[in-house]
Structure 1
Amino acid sequence: MSLVEGFAVTHKRYVPYAHAHYGGNLVDGAYGLGVFGDVATELSIRTDGDEGLFAGYSSVEFLAPIQAGDVLEATATLVRIGNRSRELRFEARVVCRAEPDRGSSAARVLAEPLLVTRATGTVVAP
């Protein structure tokens, strides 16, 4: 286990078209928060040997849209260790994006990942 500030876990996932709810294949912001929950769970397992419980977010910023066909990279970083609480910093970036104008399955790797969501939250270890 790695209970040290600065410890980080990263997940990558493809955003399926089934999750698009709005015009332009936009995905709701809650999708990114769900990914943050998953990466926080792995971080909790690695640091405390338990999935932990997510207590809440102290800040959430939606900086750019997530779209169906994106490849999303989400990172949780341990920034503060309490007796049972763990404060985490989250960042989600789009690393690949669909390009439907070029064809139904066309996509590209972004030269620079696009920061789409940033948040701070607290998980509680048993």
Structure 2
Amino acid sequence: MTSALVEGFTVTHRRYVPYSHAHYGGNLVDGAYSLGMFGDVATELCIRTDGDEGLFAGYSSVEFLAPVQAGDVMEATAKLVRIGNRSRGIEFEAHVVCRAAPSRGASSADVLPEPILVTRASGTVVVPVAAE
């Protein structure tokens, strides 16, 4: 185990949402995009806390709270909230921090004054038993 294995430890990733991921009218992106980011940020959290990528066991809750659009910049955070022998409880949040502004031009975008919470979830990952 590493010194990062403490409840409250967080990892955050940022990612641009490309237009190739638009799946619905209005350049909307499906909710699976947030879940993919949660998987990536959980992997880094496990590496930092346990020295292993871990395996995602499942979600206990997922809430899609606001739309994600192509051209957004998203931030996903994983927070370690429970430490078991092999399991780790993680809470996730995804926010949009920048958004395209096509009314001003094809490549225009804005940094949002306040991030928009778009997805919230909680889940469990499993890691190997730590070597002693």
Q: Structure 1 runs of 4+ off > 3 angstroms?
A: none
Partner of 2:98: 96
Match of 2:63 in 1: 61
1:38, CA displacement in angstroms?
0.1
3-state SS of paired residue (2:58): strand
**Is 1:28 the counterpart of 2:35 in the alignment?**
no
- Show CA shifts across 1:39-95 (max 9, x none): 000000000000000000000000000100000000000000011000000000000
CA distance in 1 between counterparts of 2:118 and 2:103 reads 22
Report the counterpart of residue 5 of structure 2 in structure 1: 3
Normalising by structure 2, what TM-score?
0.95
Partner of 1:112: 114
| In 2: Cα distance, 1:20 partner to 1:85 partner | 34
Q: Residue 121 of structure 2 aligns to a residue in which SS?
A: strand
Percent of aligned pairs with the same residue?
Answer: 81
1:98, distance to aligned residue in structure 2 (A): 0.2
Structure 2: which 5+ residue stretches go unaligned?
A: none
Displacement of 1:101: 1.1
Match of 1:39 in 2: 41
Tell me the distance in 2 between the aligned counterparts of 1:91 and 1:21: 22
Q: Which residue of the other structure, out of 72, 75, 78, is the alignment partner of 2:74? A: 72
TM-score (norm 1): 0.99
CA–CA separation in structure 2 for the residues paired with 1:18 and 1:41: 24
Structure 1's unaligned 5+ residue stretches are none
Distance 2:67 2:84 in 1: 33
In 1, Cα distance between equivalents of 2:20 and 2:93: 23
Larger Rg belongs to: 2
